[in-house]
Amino acid sequence: MPSRRPALVLCLALIGAALGVPRLAPGQAHGRPAAPAARGGPAPLTVASPNGALVATVGLGEHLTWSVTLRGRAVLLPSRIGMTLAGGEVLGAKPVVSATSTRAVDQVLRPVVRVKRAEVRDHYNERRVTFAGGYALIVRAYDDGVAYRFATSLPGEITVSAEEVTFAWSGNHVVYFPEETSFQSHQERQYKQLAISDVGPRFSGLPAMVVLPDGVKAVMTEADLFDYPGMDLTGGATPNTLRGLFPAYPKQVELRRDRDEVVLEREDFIAKTRGTREFPWRALVIAERDETLLETDLVYRLASETAMQDTDWIWPGLVAWDWWNANNVYGVPFRAGVNTETYKHYIDFAAEHGIPYIILDEGWYPLGNLLATVPAIDMNAIAAHAQARHVGLIMWVVWKTLDLQMQPALDQFARWGVKGIKVDFMQREDQWMVNFYERVAREAAKRRLLVDFHGAYKPTGLYRTYPHVLTSEGVLGLEQSKWSDLASPENAVTFPFMRMLAGPVDYTPGAMLNAAKADFKPVFNRPMSQGTRCHQLAMYVVYESPLQMLADSPSNYRKEPESLAFLSRVPTVWDETRVLSAKVGEYIVTARRSGRDWYIGALTNWTARDLALDLSWLGAGAFTAEVFRDGPNAGRAGVDYEHAELALTSGDRLTLRLAPGGGFAARITPRWAARAQRQSGPTTGSGRGPRLHLPRMPQPR
């Protein structure tokens, strides 16, 4: 029976966790369920993180609650959780424990696609509490966060009318709140800073972050989302409380244009689903250091492992992208635009610089029909040229047209030898749309097609379950610079701590026209970026996207050979990641390793700053660093930069002088390897070595 002495239980839990022993309920043997709970108000059940710092508690009063402490101090006060089924049954009301079990897991995961690192340590303690009524609560505690999920073992299909997810905080803290105005959204929002009391009926997407005393950050998100609506966030019914908000299932929709399917009426439920299943994780990443928010891969660890056996064809890399620069190719003997000659030119550009992919974005097909092409496009000729130059094609599609023509369209892409699809304008996260994402992932995998979800909700771990889903948008990215000033340096050093925590981010960097704050203007057909050239280069190290865009025109890149040479070599996946220094909304300095080479990327907001880096993590030996740093006039002319070569050792300290909106990018190579490379000539590609030869692309492990 659960103990009546919670203080002693908590103490034992912390000691046990520190020793790596899973916490067991009194009277429970390892791996065996505890006896049923006693009547009359059982004590809460706890689970501690492996290092003992975080403790999650399941409360068993009139209603199920969860709470979290960090080093004995409250992070989350007891917060009601539950699910309401059709007919009014509430899972979590007056809970009666029928069994409880614990387990400790410490394993190494080796991702198919190395977004942050080649090896992911999956280390947690877990408690499963089974209740009378056919449901259970699973709670995990990691060193960098906690999460819970419901599981049901009910017959047939069930209808979920509502889910209660609450976050009760200890005070009226500041929340970073990507506010939405409708469930119809691309989730490309600024992070507003609000007091919790100011949230009220307003709502936001996830992830969202609460700032706790002493600088502790708690980021709310979800993971392993399947056959269920995505969660948003709004104000709770009691002071200092936030709660989950879910779009109800669409009842009536109306298609406007080819892409905007507007929900006119909704059902009185959020999901109809299998009665026996596990539901999405409700997760809190808890960080005492801002750097932890950039280093964590908690969402990946919580996601379901892939069942795909054949993954050798999944090849990350850079993409030459046409839409952002409006196909503004110049200095060529043809009229640039959405036509065969322009895309052959993109293919040649990619082949010359070891870039494995190009995208054919909007315009290649008559809207509403993926089985046809516009008159100016000869897909057979483009596909043949791409095959001959060993460059892969990625086809942009509107989601609704793909939904209506999925089988024949994907089959046609396969016949053309296409390597991936970019699916755009979903703008929803109700259960129907969440299921659409998985259907696309399954059908694409059958044809060995990579997937980029644009116009998308935040990642929830689909990229682990379906590793060919390489990236997602759902971010206020560089495309905004075509019509607004929202893609600012402040945004650049804010969203990674929250949105990128959820998974890969299709920010689409790479502008070669770089403007100081006073000079920036949004220009749709000839766009520029805010901040310096080095700010853009650094994004390729700081931002995680295994399918990473080169947003500018081949003509602009050819005018900047030093920048292009760096970008064409930068990896898009990594063996190791270290965040050297970071502060939300102010600056980020990240180091990543690919093979023997290290890359450093640094970003700042509109505040100029000097940052001193300790290089002891480089290890023994002598190194050569190719560096790109803001030039002395970068604060006035964003294109000003210095390109230099430095001799370094691990005993050195490197000072970064960042201009307003500035950046720093470097590639650090062992000196012997740098000498050998100079003798043999540079390699190109996406950090993979020699130029790729599509379609037979081996998968590095």
Q: Which residues are catalytic, by number? A: 424, 479
Is 66 in contact with 58 (CB distance < 8 Å)?
Answer: yes
How far is 80 from 386, CA to CA, in rounded Å?
56
| Helix 399-416 vs helix 379-388: crossing angle, to nearest 10 | 60
Q: Where are the alpha helices (DSSP H) in 315-378?
A: 340-352
How far is 685 from 13, CA to CA, in rounded Å?
50
| Biggest CA-to-CA distance, the chain | 85
The CB-side HSE value for 89 (13 A sphere, CA atoms) comes to 14
Burial of 576 (0-12, 13-18, 19+ CB in 10 A): middle
- DSSP bridge pairs for 68: 56, 76
- CA 154 vs CA 85, 98, 225, 274: distances in Å: 11, 15, 20, 8
**Amino acid residing at 20:** G
344 is written with which tokens?
A: 């052959």
Please state the three-class secondary structure of 234-297 as a single string.
EECCCCCEEEEECCCCEEEEEEECCCEEEEEEECCCCEEEEEEEECCEEEEEEECCHHHHHHCC
- DSSP bridge pairs for 241: 168
How far is 25 from 110, CA to CA, in rounded Å?
33
Strands 90-91 and 179-180, bridge-based pairing? unpaired
Smallest Cα–Cα separation from 281: which of 454, 66, 32, 37? 66
How far is 503 from 447, CA to CA, in rounded Å?
24
Smallest Cα–Cα separation from 501: which of 354, 296, 325, 337? 296
How far is 600 from 674, CA to CA, in rounded Å?
17
Instruction: Please name the residues in contact with 423: beta carbons below 8 A apart, sequence gap of 6 or more.
Output: 397, 399, 402, 440, 451, 452, 453, 454
Give the torsion sign (CA, 536, 537, 542, 543). positive
Residue 464 has phi, psi (to 5 degrees) of -90, -45
Q: DSSP letter for 441, please.
A: H
Smallest Cα–Cα separation from 477: which of 424, 427, 529? 529
How far is 593 from 632, CA to CA, in rounded Å?
29
Strands 469-472 and 450-453, bridge-based pairing? parallel
How far is 505 from 116, CA to CA, in rounded Å?
12
**How are strands ordered across the β-sheet holding 663-670?**
576-583, 587-594, 597-604, 663-670, 622-630, 641-649
416 is written with which tokens?
A: 């053309």
Q: Is the peptide bond before 2 cis (omega within 30 degrees of 0)?
A: no
Chain-centroid distance, C-alpha 131: 34
Is 227 in contact with 271 (CB distance < 8 Å)?
Answer: yes
How far is 474 from 340, CA to CA, in rounded Å?
31
Per-residue DSSP letters for 374-424? -TT--HHHHHHHHHHTT-EEEEEEEHHHHHHHHHHHHHHHHHHT--EEEEE
